[in-house]
């Protein structure tokens, strides 16, 4: 998941920096994000609900739990106020992405200076990794820390460096980031979600983008990258099935999972995601449709937060 955040922060930062001066930047960005993220997400959520309705033995009442959290799933606020588990537990990572898509374009549009953006990202990294853990026992501060993953912030940081393309800026920026990482290193152990791990993953994505473009643009990697989001959405049940099939030989479980997941992800991409991507052509020629879809991208999270508090008071 940390690598997923690092790649997302890196790529989306580069997209926003290259288009933020356009007059319809916000509308185009929000509408394009909705056509890419929402259709396969809602289809997979529907598939899970249908699976839970089948008369098969389950460890827990997955249908009741999912229906109870359905408003949070639908509004991308799952995991905002309490941890979530279950077969579609990765939905909280999509909620993190949606929060990022909601706020980041506004910041990138207003802050023109690369140095200002760097200070903002380093400040967020320090805030989420040094100060918030001291208050993580509280529900609110714990959820905020949960939704500011270091890998996402570091991915944004290296995406900014790659976009500027100046070696002197690389050195100055890395020195700035090192000051923050020094503090986080003194307060964290090296774990999968630690700031140092996020930094290393962001650096890995950066190096692959700058010096290994022929690898990233190879035919196989490029094709898998097209439906990597769909693979991410549906990989958990196939991984669970593969682990049960290969219980006596765990080494072949990843191979079995890949054999099942890749065709299913490709099918989901062609039947659901591809029509959504083709909708972008109509959006570019229809400002009213673009505005409508942009609103559909913006309103779910505020509505989900409002619903949560209204139903508890």
- List the chain domain ranges: 2-218+302-310
Q: What is the pTM of this model?
A: 0.81
Rounded CA-CA distance 286/263 in Å is 34
Is-contact 162 14, C-beta < 8 A? Answer: yes
pLDDT in tens, the chain (313 residues): 677 777 788 888 888 988 888 888 999 999 999 999 999 999 999 988 887 776 655 555 566 676 778 888 999 988 887 767 666 778 888 988 898 899 899 988 888 877 787 777 767 766 666 555 544 444 443 444 455 577 787 778 778 877 655 545 555 555 555 555 554 554 444 444 555 566 666 666 666 665 555 444 455 556 667 788 898 898 888 888 888 887 777 778 888 888 899 899 999 999 999 888 888 777 878 888 889 999 999 999 999 999 988 887 7
Helices (H) and strands (E) counted in the chain, each on its own, are 17, 0
Token pair 């609110």 in the structure block, residue: 140
Q: How many CA atoms lie within 13 A of 270 on its CB side?
A: 8
Please state, in angstroms and rounded to a whole number, the distance separating the CA atoms of residues 191 and 107: 29
């Amino acid at each position: 998941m940390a690598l997923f955040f690092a790649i997302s922060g890196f790529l989306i930062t580069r997209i926003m920096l290259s288009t933020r001066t356009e007059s319809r930047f916000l509308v185009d960005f929000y509408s394009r994000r909705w056509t890419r993220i929402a259709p396969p997400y809602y289809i997979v959520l529907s598939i899970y609900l249908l699976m839970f309705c089948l008369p098969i033995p389950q460890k827990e009442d997955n249908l009741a739990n999912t229906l109870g959290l359905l408003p949070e799933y639908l509004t991308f606020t799952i995991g905002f106020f309490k941890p979530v588990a279950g077969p579609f537990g990765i939905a909280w990572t999509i909620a993190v992405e949606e929060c990022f898509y909601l706020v980041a374009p506004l910041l990138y549009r207003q802050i023109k200076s690369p140095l200002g953006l760097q200070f903002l990202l380093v400040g967020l990294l320090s805030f989420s990794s040094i100060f918030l853990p001291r208050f993580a026992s509280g529900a609110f501060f714990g959820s905020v820390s949960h939704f500011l993953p270091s890998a996402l912030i570091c991915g944004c940081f290296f995406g900014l460096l790659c976009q500027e393309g100046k070696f002197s800026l690389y050195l100055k920026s890395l020195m700035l980031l090192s000051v923050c990482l020094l503090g986080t290193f003194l307060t964290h152990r090296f774990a999968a979600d630690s700031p140092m791990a996020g930094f290393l993953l962001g650096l890995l994505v950066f190096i692959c983008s700058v010096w290994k473009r022929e690898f990233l643009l190879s035919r196989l990697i490029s094709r898998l990258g097209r439906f990597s989001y769909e693979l991410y959405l549906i990989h958990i049940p196939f991984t669970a099935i593969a682990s049960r099939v290969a219980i006596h030989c765990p080494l072949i479980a990843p191979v079995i999972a890949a054999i099942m997941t890749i065709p299913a992800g490709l099918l989901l991409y062609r039947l659901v995601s591809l029509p959504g991507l083709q909708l972008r052509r109509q959006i570019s020629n229809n400002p009213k449709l673009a505005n409508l879809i942009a609103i559909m991208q913006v309103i779910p999270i505020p509505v989900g937060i409002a619903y949560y508090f209204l139903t508890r008071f």
